[in-house]
Structure 1
Amino acid sequence: MSTRRTGGRQPPSMQSPSADDQQQVVDATVARVVENIATNLRAMVPEHAIRRLIELEFRAAVRALPLQDSPPPRPDPQPSSAPAADRITYRVTEAAKLLGISTSKVWGLLGEGRLPARKMDGVTLIRRVDLEAFIDTLPAFRGGPQNG
């Protein structure tokens, strides 16, 4: 078996992937995940849940990529009155802000059973997937002037 000199460079299998290689891995992973999920679950799972699964798979693929250079640390974000979109549950006031409606309207939707919620230690929690599912049930707006 002969050994070949690489001029001080690591063999391709040992080098860190370039940004293009990383993007290709992410793109291939996303395409694979989308195809698998769409094929196997389309009839059984609502679209918003499929989107969430794709998002989770995508994040896992990105996290699995080795980073050549770590980006500089981001400064801590300033506290905001807007609820974080990456949480899995929201209180009624936060859900109202996300939906752009009043808290009394959210309580009404909960009372009508149109928007499901959970209780924990006396706190009403609304899951993000339930908010998305509720939005998906609303009729599409076609635009144009409104009468009234």
Structure 2
Amino acid sequence: MTSHHPIMSKDELTAFLDREFPQIHEGGQTFFVDEIGPLCARMRMDYHDRHLRPGGTISGPSMMTLADLALYAAILAHIGPVALAVTTSLNFNFLRKPEPRALIADCRLLKLGRRLAVGEVSIFSEGSSDVVCHATGTYSIPDRR
């Protein structure tokens, strides 16, 4: 069983993501690890035109990226830098239109086993307590022998 306490710091996790996934910063960095804690992580996606859809609201795919990234960050913070941990399922409920500002993703891991991790992510517009998107997801964790 994996520890319920993070083994990677926010800075270590950020450095890993920057090194292994530089493409998430193409066009300028908009995704940031804000906090890592026991079985949780908080990420931020800055408001930027490239995340907008017609009509001027933040797009579903941008919110999906933020949720998936928050889940990945929470898992890696607890198991270490395992680049090949992969998403096996993601489910989204878009609840309301996000405000035109940064989005905050709070991720909570519900199960962290040797082979699978399950978590949920609530996304809010910065400065608001109203959930704009709720996601659940499962990751497959590769054998680390």
Greater Rg over alpha carbons, structure: 1
Q: Same fold (TM over 0.5)?
A: no
Please identify which structure carries the higher helix content: 1
Q: What is the TM-score normalised by the length of structure 2? A: 0.25
Q: What is the TM-score normalised by the length of structure 1? A: 0.24
More relative contact order, 1 or 2 (CA 8 Å, 6+ apart) = 2
Please identify which structure carries the higher strand content: 2
